[in-house]
Structure 1
Amino acid sequence: MEDEHFFLKPLDTSHSEAMLQLELDNREFFQKFTPFRDHEFYTLEGQRERLNVIKSMQELDHQYSFGIHLKESGKLIGDISLFKIEREPAQTGMLGYCLDQHYNGKGYMTQTVKLMISYAFEVQKLHRIEAGVMPHNKGSIRVLEKAGFHKEGIAVKSVKINGSWEDHQMLAIINNAE
């Protein structure tokens, strides 16, 4: 999957060093929107373990994760995942993503989300994709809406972020091509 500026590649342990660098370079920025991460997460071994878990989840058909790479250099600038995949009768999954803060505002994530919607509906045959975003994360909500997601409501205190239970705006998109 690709567009004119970047390509998506399934994540595996060969991405360990690049993932570590991405996480270290954006640690403070990402931490505003992610669960607490311990010291081990920010080590090469921690990233290898994370990518091994992703591989195991893919083998179980529960998660599909892709690195976002710049076309011109191959540099890893983010990742996007379909996770919590449920098959029949729901055929649903959750969408999550992150992007290096230096590439925000360029339309990369909106295009990436659109590519993942196509992948989810056409390849994985999902019926519905959901995403949860903290209400103050207006940029991420805008990305999802531009990609076709609609707001469904607030999930009160649904995810623990930095030690506090945070509300999340729930958004979804339905596969209308079925």
Structure 2
Amino acid sequence: MITPPSLQTPRTHIRLAEEADAPKLLRYRLENQAHLAPWEPLREPEYYSLAHCIRTITEGRAHASQDRGYPLIAFDRDEQGILATFTFANIVRGAFQACHLGYGVAARMQGQGLMLEILRPGIAWAFAELGLHRVMANYLPRNERSAKLLAQLGFEREGYAKRYLQIAGVWEDHILTALIRPDT
């Protein structure tokens, strides 16, 4: 069994959420609802409830225990609040050894280099501990911040998918990128 990470960066502690973190997750969701809405699927009102946060955490821990996905949270150093989230999702083993990366950052932390700070060690963990060969990340063509972030991390453009995901209620095109583990 793979041990989920406990990573430190200058501003964060990164780990899987525990049920006791549900109030922090709810606060993060409520505080960033308008900020994240243009980049996410439509959310039902229940998404912004403590019960849904508990279910999300429980499901995320189950996915990690089954090596299907690792929904990680970047807490501030004293773990009083959530600064960002990222997930290694849809893990495929066998000949592929790959996953999809998704992420979001609190509005108050945007533009401060936080995602670069947390994704570098997060991706290194995914390559080393999960043994992944490929991490894929897709972004909306108008999302210039994601384009810049992924380029800084070394992701390369691999394609363009028309009407790829339903974001904010609209089927949106996405730019497809990937990062290959450097030693393979």
Q: Identify the TM-score tier after normalising by the shorter chain.
A: over 0.9
**CA drift at 1:151:** 1.2
For structure 1, the 5+ residue unaligned runs are none
Deviations 1:91-127 (A, max 9, x none): 0000011110110111110121111110110000000
SS in 2 for 1:22: helix
Within a 5 Å distance, the mapping from 1:31-50 to structure 2 comes to 31-50=37-56
Identity %: 24
Q: 2:76 maps to which residue?
A: 70
Superposition pairs for residues 131-142 of structure 1, below 5 Å?
131-142=137-148
Once the two structures are TM-superposed, the CA of residue 176 in structure 1 deviates from its matched residue by 2.0
Contact residue 113 and residue 144 of structure 1 kept, 8 A: no
Whether the 8 Å contact between 1:54 and 1:65 is mirrored in structure 2 is yes
- The gaps in structure 2 that reach 5 residues or longer are 1-6
Aligned counterpart, 1:101: 107
Q: What amino acid is the match of 2:166?
A: K
Q: Partner of 1:157 in structure 2?
A: 163
Partner of 2:25 in structure 1?
19
Q: Deviations over 1:10-57 (max 9, x none)?
A: 123222111110010010111100011101100000111111111121
Residue from 145, 150, 166 that aligns with 2:172: 166
- TM, length-normalised to structure 1: 0.96
TM-score by length of 2: 0.93
Measured after TM superposition, the shift of residue 75 of structure 1 is 2.0
Contact 1:135 1:168 in 2 (8 A): yes
Which residue, out of 131, 140, 150, partners 1:144? 150
Change (3 A) 1:58 1:95: same
Does structure 1 residue 29 correspond to structure 2 residue 27? no
One-letter amino acid of the structure 2 residue matched with residue 143 of structure 1: L
1:89 to 82, 95, 119: 95
Shift of 1:163: 1.4
